[in-house]
Amino acid sequence: MKYKLPKVLIAIPTYEGKNYCLNEFLTNLRNFTYPKHLLDIYIADNSKTNTNAKMLNKKYGMKVFWKDYTGSSVFEKMADSHNQLRRYFLESEADYMLHLESDIFPPPDVIEQLLWCRKPIVNALYQVFDGSWRTPCIALNDKKHELHNEFVFHTTLDNFYHWYIDGSVKQTFIAGIGCSLMKKKVMQKFQFRDNPEEQKPPDTWFAEDLRQAGVKNWVHTGLLCFHWNQEDWGRHFEFVEYNKSE
Protein backbone atom coordinates (compact mmCIF):
# COMPACT_ATOMS: atom_id res chain seq x y z
CA MET A 1 0.00 0.00 0.00
CA LYS A 2 1.47 3.33 -1.05
CA TYR A 3 1.74 6.14 1.47
CA LYS A 4 -0.12 9.27 0.41
CA LEU A 5 1.72 12.48 1.17
CA PRO A 6 -0.43 14.99 3.07
CA LYS A 7 -1.21 18.52 1.95
CA VAL A 8 0.51 21.23 3.97
CA LEU A 9 -0.40 24.88 4.47
CA ILE A 10 2.54 27.18 5.19
CA ALA A 11 0.99 29.84 7.43
CA ILE A 12 3.05 32.99 7.92
CA PRO A 13 2.34 35.81 10.38
CA THR A 14 4.30 38.96 9.55
CA TYR A 15 4.40 42.76 9.50
CA GLU A 16 6.37 45.44 7.72
CA GLY A 17 9.16 45.35 10.33
CA LYS A 18 10.23 41.92 9.07
CA ASN A 19 10.95 43.09 5.51
CA TYR A 20 14.70 43.33 6.18
CA CYS A 21 14.87 39.59 5.41
CA LEU A 22 11.82 39.23 3.15
CA ASN A 23 13.65 38.31 -0.09
CA GLU A 24 15.90 35.82 1.69
CA PHE A 25 12.93 34.33 3.54
CA LEU A 26 10.94 33.80 0.33
CA THR A 27 13.99 32.35 -1.40
CA ASN A 28 14.39 29.89 1.45
CA LEU A 29 10.70 29.05 1.15
CA ARG A 30 11.06 28.31 -2.56
CA ASN A 31 13.91 25.92 -1.78
CA PHE A 32 11.73 23.63 0.33
CA THR A 33 11.99 20.10 -1.03
CA TYR A 34 8.42 19.03 -0.22
CA PRO A 35 6.34 18.57 -3.42
CA LYS A 36 5.12 22.03 -4.46
CA HIS A 37 1.70 20.78 -5.63
CA LEU A 38 0.98 19.72 -2.05
CA LEU A 39 1.83 23.13 -0.58
CA ASP A 40 -0.24 26.24 -0.07
CA ILE A 41 0.98 29.55 1.40
CA TYR A 42 -1.10 32.08 3.34
CA ILE A 43 0.09 35.22 5.10
CA ALA A 44 -1.50 37.19 7.94
CA ASP A 45 -0.07 40.73 7.92
CA ASN A 46 -0.63 42.89 11.01
CA SER A 47 1.17 46.02 9.78
CA LYS A 48 -0.33 49.39 10.70
CA THR A 49 -1.61 49.93 7.15
CA ASN A 50 -2.48 47.60 4.28
CA THR A 51 0.44 48.85 2.16
CA ASN A 52 2.65 45.90 3.06
CA ALA A 53 -0.12 43.37 2.44
CA LYS A 54 -0.78 44.85 -1.00
CA MET A 55 2.93 44.70 -1.81
CA LEU A 56 3.13 41.02 -0.81
CA ASN A 57 0.13 40.27 -2.99
CA LYS A 58 1.07 42.28 -6.08
CA LYS A 59 4.84 41.82 -6.12
CA TYR A 60 5.08 38.24 -4.90
CA GLY A 61 1.61 36.87 -5.69
CA MET A 62 0.94 35.89 -2.08
CA LYS A 63 -2.48 35.36 -0.54
CA VAL A 64 -2.56 37.85 2.32
CA PHE A 65 -4.97 38.72 5.12
CA TRP A 66 -4.88 42.19 6.68
CA LYS A 67 -7.11 44.16 9.01
CA ASP A 68 -6.84 47.36 11.01
CA TYR A 69 -5.59 46.59 14.53
CA THR A 70 -5.62 50.19 15.73
CA GLY A 71 -6.18 50.20 19.48
CA SER A 72 -5.16 46.57 19.91
CA SER A 73 -2.27 45.50 22.12
CA VAL A 74 0.72 43.71 20.60
CA PHE A 75 -0.30 40.35 22.06
CA GLU A 76 -3.92 40.88 21.01
CA LYS A 77 -3.05 41.48 17.37
CA MET A 78 -0.54 38.63 17.42
CA ALA A 79 -3.19 36.22 18.68
CA ASP A 80 -5.69 37.41 16.11
CA SER A 81 -3.16 37.06 13.28
CA HIS A 82 -2.46 33.49 14.36
CA ASN A 83 -6.19 32.83 14.48
CA GLN A 84 -6.66 34.18 10.95
CA LEU A 85 -4.10 31.63 9.79
CA ARG A 86 -5.92 28.97 11.81
CA ARG A 87 -9.26 29.92 10.22
CA TYR A 88 -7.84 29.65 6.71
CA PHE A 89 -6.27 26.29 7.56
CA LEU A 90 -9.50 24.83 8.92
CA GLU A 91 -11.38 25.95 5.81
CA SER A 92 -8.71 24.53 3.49
CA GLU A 93 -8.01 21.01 2.24
CA ALA A 94 -4.63 20.91 3.96
CA ASP A 95 -3.93 18.15 6.47
CA TYR A 96 -1.16 20.01 8.32
CA MET A 97 -0.28 23.63 9.01
CA LEU A 98 3.36 24.69 9.16
CA HIS A 99 3.20 27.85 11.28
CA LEU A 100 6.33 29.72 10.17
CA GLU A 101 7.49 33.12 11.43
CA SER A 102 8.86 35.35 8.66
CA ASP A 103 12.35 35.62 10.20
CA ILE A 104 12.82 31.87 10.71
CA PHE A 105 14.91 29.97 8.14
CA PRO A 106 14.37 26.19 8.36
CA PRO A 107 16.41 23.66 6.38
CA PRO A 108 14.92 22.71 2.98
CA ASP A 109 13.55 19.36 4.19
CA VAL A 110 11.87 20.78 7.30
CA ILE A 111 8.39 19.51 6.37
CA GLU A 112 9.63 15.99 5.68
CA GLN A 113 11.59 16.01 8.95
CA LEU A 114 8.63 17.18 11.03
CA LEU A 115 6.22 14.77 9.34
CA TRP A 116 8.68 11.96 10.13
CA CYS A 117 8.13 12.68 13.84
CA ARG A 118 4.49 11.51 13.52
CA LYS A 119 3.21 13.87 16.21
CA PRO A 120 -0.01 15.94 16.24
CA ILE A 121 2.13 18.99 16.98
CA VAL A 122 5.91 19.18 16.72
CA ASN A 123 8.33 22.10 16.60
CA ALA A 124 11.74 22.76 15.10
CA LEU A 125 14.39 24.48 17.21
CA TYR A 126 15.40 28.10 16.79
CA GLN A 127 17.33 30.46 19.00
CA VAL A 128 16.64 33.78 20.71
CA PHE A 129 18.70 36.51 22.39
CA ASP A 130 22.21 37.41 21.28
CA GLY A 131 25.90 36.82 21.68
CA SER A 132 26.86 34.36 24.40
CA TRP A 133 23.21 34.27 25.53
CA ARG A 134 22.04 32.83 22.21
CA THR A 135 19.79 30.01 23.41
CA PRO A 136 17.04 27.72 22.08
CA CYS A 137 13.48 28.97 22.45
CA ILE A 138 12.51 26.17 24.81
CA ALA A 139 10.75 26.02 28.20
CA LEU A 140 10.68 22.68 30.01
CA ASN A 141 7.84 23.33 32.43
CA ASP A 142 9.71 23.27 35.72
CA LYS A 143 11.97 20.37 34.86
CA LYS A 144 15.71 20.52 35.39
CA HIS A 145 18.60 18.27 34.53
CA GLU A 146 19.89 15.92 37.21
CA LEU A 147 23.28 17.64 37.18
CA HIS A 148 21.78 20.98 38.19
CA ASN A 149 22.42 21.60 41.90
CA GLU A 150 20.60 24.90 42.22
CA PHE A 151 17.68 25.08 44.62
CA VAL A 152 15.31 26.73 42.14
CA PHE A 153 13.83 24.97 39.16
CA HIS A 154 14.88 26.08 35.67
CA THR A 155 12.00 26.38 33.24
CA THR A 156 14.20 27.42 30.32
CA LEU A 157 17.40 25.96 28.91
CA ASP A 158 19.38 29.22 28.93
CA ASN A 159 23.05 28.36 28.36
CA PHE A 160 22.68 24.82 29.69
CA TYR A 161 21.20 23.27 26.58
CA HIS A 162 23.98 21.02 25.31
CA TRP A 163 22.74 18.02 27.29
CA TYR A 164 19.24 18.51 25.86
CA ILE A 165 19.89 18.81 22.13
CA ASP A 166 20.78 15.29 21.05
CA GLY A 167 18.86 14.96 17.78
CA SER A 168 15.90 13.13 19.26
CA VAL A 169 12.23 14.14 19.40
CA LYS A 170 11.36 15.22 22.94
CA GLN A 171 8.33 16.40 24.85
CA THR A 172 8.47 20.03 25.91
CA PHE A 173 6.23 22.72 27.35
CA ILE A 174 7.03 25.59 24.98
CA ALA A 175 9.16 25.56 21.85
CA GLY A 176 7.80 28.77 20.38
CA ILE A 177 5.57 28.48 17.32
CA GLY A 178 8.09 30.02 14.95
CA CYS A 179 8.38 26.73 13.06
CA SER A 180 5.64 24.39 14.18
CA LEU A 181 3.82 21.62 12.30
CA MET A 182 0.27 21.14 13.53
CA LYS A 183 -2.23 18.51 12.51
CA LYS A 184 -5.76 19.65 11.67
CA LYS A 185 -7.30 17.83 14.64
CA VAL A 186 -5.15 19.95 16.98
CA MET A 187 -6.18 23.22 15.40
CA GLN A 188 -9.85 22.21 15.49
CA LYS A 189 -9.67 22.04 19.28
CA PHE A 190 -7.38 24.95 20.12
CA GLN A 191 -7.12 28.57 19.11
CA PHE A 192 -4.72 31.33 20.05
CA ARG A 193 -5.56 33.87 22.72
CA ASP A 194 -4.22 36.61 24.92
CA ASN A 195 -5.09 37.75 28.42
CA PRO A 196 -4.94 41.50 29.11
CA GLU A 197 -4.71 40.80 32.85
CA GLU A 198 -1.65 38.59 32.50
CA GLN A 199 0.72 39.67 29.75
CA LYS A 200 2.06 36.58 28.03
CA PRO A 201 2.56 35.96 24.30
CA PRO A 202 -0.02 33.80 22.49
CA ASP A 203 2.37 30.85 22.12
CA THR A 204 2.63 30.63 25.92
CA TRP A 205 -1.15 30.53 26.33
CA PHE A 206 -1.35 28.01 23.49
CA ALA A 207 1.17 25.74 25.24
CA GLU A 208 -0.72 26.12 28.51
CA ASP A 209 -4.01 25.19 26.84
CA LEU A 210 -2.37 22.12 25.31
CA ARG A 211 -1.07 21.05 28.70
CA GLN A 212 -4.39 21.59 30.44
CA ALA A 213 -6.07 19.37 27.83
CA GLY A 214 -3.40 16.67 28.11
CA VAL A 215 -2.06 17.19 24.57
CA LYS A 216 1.70 16.67 24.37
CA ASN A 217 3.89 19.30 22.73
CA TRP A 218 7.04 18.00 21.01
CA VAL A 219 10.30 19.39 19.64
CA HIS A 220 12.70 17.85 17.10
CA THR A 221 16.07 18.65 18.68
CA GLY A 222 17.93 17.67 15.53
CA LEU A 223 16.25 20.32 13.41
CA LEU A 224 17.78 23.76 13.96
CA CYS A 225 16.48 26.82 12.12
CA PHE A 226 18.35 30.08 11.72
CA HIS A 227 16.49 32.95 13.44
CA TRP A 228 17.27 36.30 11.83
CA ASN A 229 15.90 38.32 14.72
CA GLN A 230 17.25 41.72 13.83
CA GLU A 231 14.75 43.96 15.56
CA ASP A 232 13.78 42.15 18.75
CA TRP A 233 14.79 39.63 21.46
CA GLY A 234 17.59 41.89 22.70
CA ARG A 235 19.76 41.46 19.64
CA HIS A 236 22.49 44.08 19.44
CA PHE A 237 22.76 43.70 15.69
CA GLU A 238 24.87 46.82 15.30
CA PHE A 239 27.63 45.20 17.40
CA VAL A 240 27.28 41.48 16.81
CA GLU A 241 27.51 39.82 13.42
CA TYR A 242 25.40 36.68 12.96
CA ASN A 243 25.46 34.06 10.28
CA LYS A 244 23.30 31.09 9.36
CA SER A 245 25.64 28.54 10.92
CA GLU A 246 24.17 29.34 14.33
Q: What per-residue confidence (pLDDT) applies to 237?
A: 45
Using CA atoms, how far apart are residues 204 and 175, in angstroms rounded to an integer? 9
Considering the domain delimited by 8-227, tell me its CATH architecture.
Alpha-Beta Complex (3.90)
Mean pLDDT by 10 residues, the chain (246 residues): 86 95 96 98 97 97 96 93 97 97 96 96 85 70 54 50 80 88 94 86 88 91 87 46 46
Using CA atoms, how far apart are residues 122 and 106, in angstroms rounded to an integer? 14
Q: What per-residue confidence (pLDDT) applies to 137?
A: 76
Q: What per-residue confidence (pLDDT) applies to 3?
A: 73
Q: What per-residue confidence (pLDDT) applies to 126?
A: 87
Q: What per-residue confidence (pLDDT) applies to 162?
A: 66
For every residue of 18-73, DSSP letters joined together read GGGGHHHHHHHHHT--S-GGGEEEEEEE--SSSHHHHHHHHHH--EEEE---TT--
